[in-house]
Homo-oligomer: A and B are copies of this chain.
Amino acid sequence: MTNRETTTRETLTRNQTLVFDALAKAAGPLSAYTILDKLRDDGFRAPLQVYRALDKLVDFGMVHRLESLNAFVACAHPHCGQHGLIAFAICEKCGHVSEFSNDVIEDQVRGWAAANGFKPSKTTVEIRGNCAKCLNS
């Protein structure tokens, strides 16, 4: 039970469900500690409860970690099966995150890796800036 193919929403444990729902209904990314606070009423007491659930959810592909924020978002395409390379555009004013994939970038990464004998396991692409909405206000 370690990948999205064999694990669906139905098989999530109680804690995983609580954490995923918190992320899914949030407007933007949440830090692990923010999630913890939101789940105090559901019995959460310690960071590890959140981190353990997040680890699995990331593993399942249902949640992504934003490295430049130390925060987590629910996947915007939870039913698309296995993603290729995913990029995130993060608005520094309103916190909104857009998730998209880009085959050209993926090819470039693969190309550099092949040329340099590097074997990639995970690629992070995060664009920080301001979203259209914030620029027009």
Which residues from chain A sit less than 8 Å from chain B, CB to CB? 67-68, 87, 89, 91-92, 98, 100, 102, 104-105, 108-109, 112-113, 116-132, 135-136
If A68-B67, A68-B124, A108-B104 touch, whether A116 touches B129 (CB-CB below 8 Å) is no
Copies of this chain, complex-wide, total 2
A135 contacts across to B, CB distance below 8 A: 117, 119
Which of B100, B128, B131 is within 8 Å of A123, CB to CB?
Answer: B128
Measured in the bound complex, the distance between the Cα atoms of B104 and A102 in whole Å is 12
If A68-B124, A123-B125, A124-B67 touch, whether A112 touches B87 (CB-CB below 8 Å) is yes
Measured in the bound complex, the distance between the Cα atoms of B110 and A127 in whole Å is 10
